[in-house]
Chains A and B, each alone.
Chain A
Amino acid sequence: MKITEQEVRRVADLANLALREDEVAHMAQDLDCILTHIDKLNELDTTGVEPMAQVLFDAEETATLREDCERPSLSNAEAVGNAPVASGGYYKVPRVIER
């Protein structure tokens, strides 16, 4: 196995997913199968090859900044309009800091 159930639980924690126990076992199998296929990449010698982080790395005009001027934006009501719980124009979440 390329990945153990214990590792699956650790990764699920990092990903903020509360996987059920039956899902953990299944996930370990699926990921193992995919990671085994992915091992194929090690057949290639990539010494000296630049990593390609974006497609148009030759383009001159990327990463431009627009003019910094004031313009209309979403209203507060629209911005929080899809929140499951909002109050007083803010997103409301469970208490984070105990007194």
Chain B
Amino acid sequence: MSSPLNGLTIESIRAGLLAKKFSAEELARQSLAYAEAENPKTNAYLTLSPERALRAARAVDAKIASGEDPGALAGVPVAVKDVIVTRGLRTTCGSKLLANYVPPYDATAVIRLEQAGGVILGKTNCDEFAMGSSNENSAFGPVRNPVALDRVPGGSSGGSAAVVAQETALVSLGSDTGGSIRQPASFCGISGVTPTYGRVSRYGLTAFASSLDHIGPFGKTTRDAARLLQAIAGRDEMDATSAFAPVPDYLAALDGNIEGLRIGLPREYFDGLESETGDRVTAAVEVLKTLGCEVRDIGLPHTPYAVAAYYIIATAEASANLARYDGVRYTTRSAGANTLSDMYRMTREEGFGDECKRRIMLGTYVLSAGYYDAYYLKAQKVRHLIARDFAQAFEQVDAIVAPVSPFPAFKIGEKVKDPISMYLSDIYTITGDLAGIPCMSVPCGLTAESLPVGLQIITRHFDESTMFRIADAYENASH
């Protein structure tokens, strides 16, 4: 059985609905049935939401029947990472602590995508509180990569990447703090976008590291990902860190013309990656040259310090953000606690998984008395140097192109015993989050074992248009 979404795009769904070839309700029913049947293979969905989906689909059908515009995402089946809250729909964050948490409000990104006619099919599995690079840190079991079921889909947004690759949703929302959208997109062979910091409201995104957290889209094509970003981007007064900058028409930028664009290849990103991954990325760069891009070598000299700076800043912020899970407000309290202090300590000990505890501990340590200057302040200074590297590079080039991950999807269980090597594998994606610039992964071929490789495209703050233009032109030329 092939997916009812096979061969469809946001654009073709809209055209099909307006031409009355199918209804939004029919598409939603077929997609839900397919998701229910196929999900056991990957464990990508944690919760399906048929009632909510059918209600949204019927609203789209009613608008079409009455001649109203059904919205830019009319009838599009969407999945949402389970760290993004949905009113009345269980939101677990991949954690045992929140196994029964039913949020009383919707995230702004969720409200916007539903207002645009999007149909939420369900919530996707992820590493606990978005902490991980393989989706093996979920309290609800790992996600298997639909491309190779014995391998990880990447993380932390592993479920959101897997559903798009498996075609159990057309597009999805993920979150990215250190690479959690781009790396799973590259592992699953789809497009994944980390927009500029502040481009998408985080209201309703469960906070992990507030100065680094982003919401962003996944799609089979760059065009679909751009359309989903278009629907959710823009200032939101519920998130003081959301940007006022106007949102341009991303689709208008996809004119296929990238002639004369200056593209930088950062030499530090071609150090220590697997040769097949390097070959695929180099081949993609050749395609960009034939499309008229001018490619030059650049340096981002502080790259080797990014992982160290990141794991101080991210864990420090996480230790503060996760303090709220204390047994008072969020569904779970240790049964054995008789005092207030034991209630905090035992609830957290029993509720958090190993990776969350490790990061809470590291974050608490680097912020503790006597260590603040040596660790946290030092890391913030190094972060500035990394951001400055990019700013200087963008004086010479319009975009930077690099690998996403040093290697393709690895086997489930292969790296769980060694947290530091897992952390180091995020080296090429962490830098973009530290600088807050837009970056995406676009598929650039397969290894000999048929594992997808991702090409990373990075541009200036708020220049998603150039990023999408390059990705789309590359996609069209390489297919």
Contacts and interface: CB of A to CB of B under 8 A. Distances in A.
Interface string A1-21: 001000110011011111110
B268 to A, nearest CB: 14
Contacts of B431: none
A16 B436 contact: no
Interface centre among B302, B382, B387, B419 (most CB of A within 10 A): B382
Interface string A57-86: 001011110100000001000111111110
A43 B276 CA distance: 32
Given A34-B419, A34-B423, A17 B361 contact: yes
A82 to B, nearest CB: 5
Interface stretch (B61-69, B76-84, B97-105, B259-267): B97-105
A40 B304 contact: yes
Contacts, number: 164
Contacts of A50: 381, 384
Contacts of B423: 34, 37
A10 to B, nearest CB: 8
Given A41-B382, A55-B435, A31 B365 contact: yes
Nearest to A28: B361
Interface stretch (B160-168, B328-336, B396-404): B328-336
B448 interface: no
A77 to B, nearest CB: 9
B104 A94 contact: no
B360 A15 contact: yes
A49 B385 contact: yes
A83 B104 CA distance: 12
A44 B360 contact: no
Contacts of A12: 361
Given A12-B361, A51-B384, A55-B211, A44 B243 contact: no
B237 A14 contact: no
Contact of B331 (A15, A54, A82, A91): A82
Interface string B303-333: 0110111011000000100010011111111
Contact of B381 (A11, A19, A40, A46): A46
Contacts of B305: 40-41, 43-44
Nearest to A38: B308
B348 interface: yes
Contacts of A18: 342, 345-346, 348-349
The residue among A14, A20, A34, A78 with the most chain B CB atoms within 10 A of its own CB is: A34
A63 B240 CA distance: 6
A38 B384 contact: no
Interface in B388-430: 419-420, 423-424
Given A38-B311, A93-B343, A8 B361 contact: yes
A52 B381 contact: yes
Contact of A82 (B329, B420, B424): B329
A62 B382 contact: no
Given A11-B361, A40-B304, A93 B340 contact: yes
Interface residues of B, number: 70
Contact of A38 (B197, B329, B375, B387): B375
Contacts of A79: 104
A78 B323 CA distance: 21
B149 interface: no
A46 B339 contact: no
A15 B102 contact: no
A64 B238 CA distance: 11
Given A27-B361, A78-B104, A94-B339, A52 B327 contact: no
Given A37-B420, A41-B308, A52 B365 contact: no
Given A37-B307, A41-B305, A85-B333, A46 B361 contact: no
A12 to B, nearest CB: 7
Nearest to A75: B104
Nearest to A50: B384
A41 B309 contact: yes
B338 interface: yes
A51 B331 contact: no
A59 B337 CA distance: 47
B9 interface: no
A19 B364 CA distance: 14
A16 B308 contact: no
B234 to A, nearest CB: 13
B377 interface: yes
Contacts of B240: 62-64
B331 A84 contact: yes
Interface string B223-265: 0000000000000010011011000000000000000000000
Interface of B: 101-105, 197-198, 211, 237, 240-241, 243-244, 302, 304-305, 307-309, 311-312, 319, 323, 326-333, 337-346, 348-349, 352, 357-358, 360-362, 364-365, 368, 375, 377-385, 387, 419-420, 423-424, 435-436, 461
28 contacts: A3-B365, A14-B368, A15-B319, A16-B326, A17-B345, A17-B357, A19-B349, A27-B361, A33-B420, A40-B304, A41-B382, A43-B305, A44-B382, A51-B383, A52-B384, A53-B380, A56-B243, A56-B461, A62-B240, A82-B101, A82-B103, A83-B329, A83-B331, A84-B330, A84-B333, A85-B333, A94-B343, A95-B340
Shortest 6 CB-CB contacts between residues of A and residues of B: A55-B436, A51-B380, A18-B345, A52-B384, A46-B381, A84-B333
